Structure 1
Amino acid sequence: MGNFLAGFLLPLLLLTAALSNWSLISLVDLVAFLLIQYTAPKIGFRFRRQYLLLWPVIIFSLLVFSSQAVYLVVWAVEGYKQSVGEAWWMKLIGFMIIQSWKSPTVIYFLAVQLLLVIVAVLDIHDNRFGLVQWRCSCWSHFLTAIERLGSHLRVTSCLLLPPIQLVAGISHPSWISLPFFVSSCVGLVDWSLTSNFLGLFRFWKALQLYAGFNIVLLYVYQIPLEFSDMLQRIADFVGLFKISSTSEWPEICSAVSLVLFYIMVCVSCITIDLIP
C-alpha cells in the first residue's frame, strides 16, 4: 500500500493541485511533486521522507485548505464584491472564488488539498507501523494489480524515454530545449557505435535536474505577474511561452513531454542501473 500511496497517488494529487490554478500556492505543490518524484527511487529514503516531505505537505495543505475556506466565507459575507487591487494579489497568491457552480474549480481544489492530507497521513502511518493488513480481498487484489502495473510501466518507461526526450527537444525548438536534442543525438550516436542501449541515457541525471528546473521556470512564467520588458525579451529569447486555451500544439506538446520525461526518468527501472 505504501508504494501505491507515495509512488502514485500522492504525486498525482500534487500535480493536480499545481495545475488547477497558476499561483504561488500551486507553485509549492509543484515543487513538492518534483521533490517526491526525485527522491522516490532512492533506496533507504522512505523513512526520512516521512519527516522531510510528508509532514510539510500535511501542514501546508491544511493551511491552504483553511485559508481558502475562510476566504470563501469572507467573500460570500461581503456580498460577492472585491476591489481590483485586492483581486490581483489574491489571485497571485492563489485564492479563488466560485465563478460558476457548473464548474466550481475552488471546490475541486479544496477536495484535492484534503485528499493530500489524508494520503500523506496514511503513508506516514505505513512508514511508522508497517503496511496495513487489509481484510478486504478486493482491495488487496487491487493493490497487487497496481504494483504489477507499476513494474510494467517502469519497463515501458525505459523504452519510451528516448522518444519522449527527442520530442521535448524538437517539439518547440528553443535554447532551453536544445540540451534535450543534443543529448538525444549523442545518445543515438553512442548506441550505434557501441550497441549499448544504456548509451541513450548517458546524460540522464543532468537532464533530470535540468527538466525539473525547466518545469519550475515554465510554471513561474504562467503566474500572473507583470514582467518588465527586458525580462519579457529574455523569456521570449530562451523559449518560454504562455499556456492557454489558444496555445498551439507544439507548445502544449513541449510542456507535456517535459513533465512526462521528468516522471519517466524518476520511475524508470533504468534509474537503478545508472546510479553511480
Structure 2
Amino acid sequence: MGSFLTGFALPLLLLTASLLNWSLISHVDLIAFLLIQYTAPKIGFRFRRKYLLLWPVIIFSLLVFLSQVAYLVIWAVGGYKQSVGDAWWLKLIGFMIIQSWRSPTVIYFLVTQLLVLVVALLDIHVNRFGLVPWRYTCWGHFLTVVEQLGSHLKVASCLLLPAIQLVVGISHPSWISLPFFIGSCIGLVDWSLTSNFLGLFRLWKALQFYAGFSIFMLYVYQLPIEFSSMLQWIADFVGLFKICSTSEWTEICSSVSLVLFYIMVCTSFITIRLILFKDFS
C-alpha cells in the first residue's frame, strides 16, 4: 500500500494542486511532486529519507489549508468586496476567492490539499505500523492488483519512453527541447549501429535531471509576474511559453509530454537501471 500512496496517489494529488492555480504556493506543490517522483522509486526511500520528505509536505499542506480558509473567512466577512486583483501579491502567493460557484477553483484546491495531507499521513502510518487487517479485504486485494498492474506498466513505460522523448524534442522546437531531440538522435544512431534497443536509454539520467529543471522553469514563467522586456525576450528565445486557453496545440503537447516523460523516467528508474547494468556493464 505504501508504494501505491507514495508512487501514485500523492504525486498525482501534488501535480493536480500545482495546476489548479499558478502561484508560489502551487509552485511548492510542484517542487514536492518533482522530488517525490524522483526519490520514490529508489532503493532505501522507504526509510528515513521518506519521512524527511513527507513531513514537510504534511506541514505545508496544513498551513496552506488553514491560511486559505482564514483568507476566505476574512473575505466573506468583508462583504465580498475584496478581489484578488486588488492586491497582486495575494494572487502571486496563491490566495483565492470564490469567483463563481459553477467552477469554484478554490474549493477544488482546498480539497486537493486536504487529500495530500491525509494521504501523506496515511503513508507514514502504513510504513510505521502496517495495515495487516486490510490485507484480506477488498481494498487489500485492490491494492495488490494495482501494484501488479504497476509493475507491468513500468515495463511498458520503458518501451514507450523513447517515443515520448522524441515527442518532447519535436512537438515544440526550441532551445529547451533541443537536448531531448539530440538524445533521441544519439539513441537512434546507437540502436542502428549496435542493433541494441537499450542504446536509446544511454542519456536517460542526464535527461531526467534536465526534464525536472525544464518543468521547474516552465512553471516559473506561468507565475503572475510582470517580467521585463529583456526577460521576456530571453524566455521567448529559449522556448518558454505561457499556457492558457489560447495556447497552440504544439505548446500543450510539448508541456504534457514533458511532464509525462519525467513521470515515466522516474517510475522506470529501477527497471531501466537494472537492464542497463546487465547489458552495458
Taking structure 1 as the reference length, the TM-score comes to 0.96
Shift of 1:6: 0.7
Q: Which runs of 4+ in 1 moved over 6 A?
A: none
Match of 2:125 in 1: 125
Match of 2:272 in 1: 270
Give the CA RMSD over aligned residues: 1.5
Alignment of 1:168-187 (within 5 A): 168-187=168-187
SS in 2 for 1:46: coil
- d(CA) in 2 for partners of 1:45, 1:56: 15
Given residue 194 of structure 1, which amino acid in structure 2 is its aligned partner? T
Given residue 202 of structure 1, which amino acid in structure 2 is its aligned partner? R
Deviations 1:98-126 (A, max 9, x none): 01111111111101111111100111112
Given residue 125 of structure 2, which amino acid in structure 1 is its aligned partner? H
Deviations 1:165-203 (A, max 9, x none): 000000000001000000000000001111212110100
Alignment gaps of 5+ in structure 1: none
Amino-acid identity (%): 80
Shift of 1:51: 2.4
Match of 2:249 in 1: 249
Q: How many residues align?
A: 276
Alignment gaps of 5+ in structure 2: none
Match of 2:162 in 1: 162
Shift of 1:136: 5.8
Alignment of 1:208-227 (within 5 A): 208-227=208-227
Whether 1:70 and 2:81 are equivalent positions in the alignment is no
Shift in alpha-carbon separation, 1:139–1:248, aligned structure 2, 3 A: same
Shift in alpha-carbon separation, 1:186–1:134, aligned structure 2, 3 A: same
- d(CA) in 2 for partners of 1:82, 1:189: 59
SS in 1 for 2:87: helix
Task: Answer yes or no: is the 8 Å Cα contact 1:92–1:225 preserved in 2.
Answer: yes
- d(CA) in 1 for partners of 2:145, 2:84: 51
- d(CA) in 1 for partners of 2:231, 2:11: 32
Task: Answer yes or no: is the 8 Å Cα contact 1:265–1:271 preserved in 2.
Answer: no
Match of 2:21 in 1: 21
- d(CA) in 2 for partners of 1:153, 1:161: 12
Match of 1:200 in 2: 200
Bigger mean CA deviation after superposition, 208-217 or 119-128: 119-128
Taking structure 2 as the reference length, the TM-score comes to 0.95
